[in-house]
Amino acid sequence: RRAGRELDALEVLGGAGGVAQRAFKGDLQNAAQAPAAGAAKFRAADRDEEVVVDTVKQVGAKTFFRHGQVWVDSTATAEQIKHVKKIERFSKEYFDLAARFGKDAARYLAMEGSVQLRLGDEVYEF
């Protein structure tokens, strides 16, 4: 339903919704660079405001989905998440992971907020 409403809103040519859409399209076309990765933006024509959607994040070769306040590695299975190993950020175990998995893991370990990360066959939360 929502997708249908959003698609219908794109057909609006007049009024505040149409003006807002044209302004947003112009902003995108005239931008000097692409928006930063990690958060999608769209213009809510009914409210004439920009909305940022930050439930998906691409970091390196991995995609993370936000579930509540936690970023979850998309490659982690439900079974692996049931047995998540919680580690304290910047603890010895945390740095041991960085040493064991090398620079590829470093970008994921540097993510802000709570993260569930699959490395090998294990899922770690920090």
Q: What is the DSSP letter of 32?
A: S
Whole-prediction pTM: 0.62
What residues does each domain of the chain span? 2-53, 56-125
Which helix (H) or strand (E) covers residue 78, if one does?
helix 78-82
Copy the structure tokens of residue 20: 């807002």
pLDDT, one tens digit per residue, over 68-82 is: 999 999 999 999 999
Q: What are phi and psi of 28, to 5 degrees?
A: -65, -45
pLDDT given at position 9? 67
pLDDT given at position 38? 56
Copy the structure tokens of residue 86: 């919680």
pLDDT given at position 48? 78
